[in-house]
């Protein structure tokens, strides 16, 4: 007899940012055995990874940081992986945020997450693509998720399903879901900079601040003075 779905293990792609933080807790509401996967691919800073470690330790859930820095030379033509490039400021727009695209990132991370799922007998992989990313990042769009789901269903004799529950949701909607779950967003990092305080000026910070404003609450993390 197969296990009920809530008792089967599940894998969550967990960066340590506010979207994946919300996703992690949503998965915890649906599964009793959650395995969080974070990836070190040579990104410019490790603040998110540090947050991810702390959160998983506090929750007492399995957490693995996968070191894939060896691929850095394949994906270094991005402002998020090349420290010589300036991080763009201002709201998300194709004109200024295109430089933050990390080549094929989600396909690689999902592929490894599917492997993890197969390895531990999980049938569910969660990742936090959302509607606000559709304009800039092709690997966050519905067509990509659908194609990856088809591949995941063929990669093993026991199909794995990729869940992107926020695929059509705005960041403010994701935050609203987290607020309903009583989550504390002090334990997340969103800023593209890896400094002591969030910059408040990059697209990621602006998107985050606008999500909190839309929900009528103040962001609990500290920002450097403007």
Q: Does 207 carry a binding-site annotation? A: no
DSSP assignment of 27-63 equals HHHH-SEEEEEEEES--S--HHHHHHHHHHHHHT-EE
98-107 mean pLDDT:
86
Q: Where are the alpha helices (DSSP H) in 72-216?
A: 94-97, 105-120, 142-154, 171-180, 203-214
**What kind and span of H or E run contains 24?**
helix 18-30
Q: Does 22 carry a binding-site annotation? A: yes
Q: Does 191 carry a binding-site annotation? A: yes
Which of 3, 11, 1 lies closest to 122 in space, CA to CA?
A: 11
Q: Structural domain boundaries of the chain?
A: 5-190
| pLDDT of 6 above 80 | no
| pLDDT of 90 above 70 | no
Q: Does 212 carry a binding-site annotation? A: no
Q: Does 39 carry a binding-site annotation? A: no
Q: Does 89 carry a binding-site annotation? A: no
Q: Does 17 carry a binding-site annotation? A: yes
Q: Does 20 carry a binding-site annotation? A: yes
62 pairs with which residues across the strands?
35
Q: Does 173 carry a binding-site annotation? A: no
165-171 mean pLDDT:
96
* Size of the chain in residues: 226
What CATH number belongs to 5-190? Answer: 3.40.50.620
Residue given tokens 């990729």 in the structure block: 162
**What kind and span of H or E run contains 21?**
helix 18-30
The whole model's pTM is what?
Answer: 0.92
User: According to the model, what pLDDT value does residue 2 have?
Assistant: 44
Q: What is the pLDDT of residues 33-64, one digit of tens each?
A: 999 999 999 998 889 999 999 999 999 999 99
Decide: 55 and 83 in contact? Cβ < 8 Å.
no
User: According to the model, what pLDDT value does residue 1 have?
Assistant: 36
Q: What is the pLDDT of residues 173-182, one digit of tens each?
A: 999 999 999 9
Q: Does 16 carry a binding-site annotation? A: yes
- What is the percent of the chain with per-residue pLDDT over 90, rounded to a whole number? 75
Q: What is the pLDDT of residues 108-138, one digit of tens each?
A: 999 999 999 999 999 999 999 999 887 788 8
Decide: 48 and 65 in contact? Cβ < 8 Å.
no
Q: Does 73 carry a binding-site annotation? A: no
């Amino acid at each position: 007899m197969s296990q009920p779905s809530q008792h089967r293990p599940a894998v969550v792609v967990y960066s340590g940012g506010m979207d994946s933080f919300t996703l992690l807790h949503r998965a915890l509401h649906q599964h009793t055995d959650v395995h969080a996967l974070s990836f070190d691919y040579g990104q410019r800073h490790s603040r998110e990874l540090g947050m991810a470690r702390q959160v998983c330790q506090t929750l007492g859930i399995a957490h693995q940081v996968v070191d894939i820095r060896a691929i850095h030379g394949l994906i270094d033509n991005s402002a998020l992986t090349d420290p010589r490039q300036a991080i763009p400021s201002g709201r998300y727009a194709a004109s200024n945020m295109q430089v933050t695209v990390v080549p094929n990132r989600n396909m690689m991370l999902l592929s490894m997450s599917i492997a993890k799922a197969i390895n531990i007998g999980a049938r569910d992989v969660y990742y936090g693509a959302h509607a606000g990313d559709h304009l800039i990042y092709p690997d966050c769009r519905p067509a990509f998720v659908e194609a990856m789901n088809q591949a995941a269903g063929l990669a093993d004799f026991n199909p794995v399903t990729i869940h992107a529950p926020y695929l059509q949701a705005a960041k403010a909607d994701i935050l609203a879901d987290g607020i309903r779950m009583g989550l504390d967003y002090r334990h997340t990092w969103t800023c593209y900079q890896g400094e002591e305080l969030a910059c408040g000026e990059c697209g990621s910070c602006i998107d985050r601040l606008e999500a909190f404003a839309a929900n009528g609450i103040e962001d609990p993390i500290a920002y450097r003075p403007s």
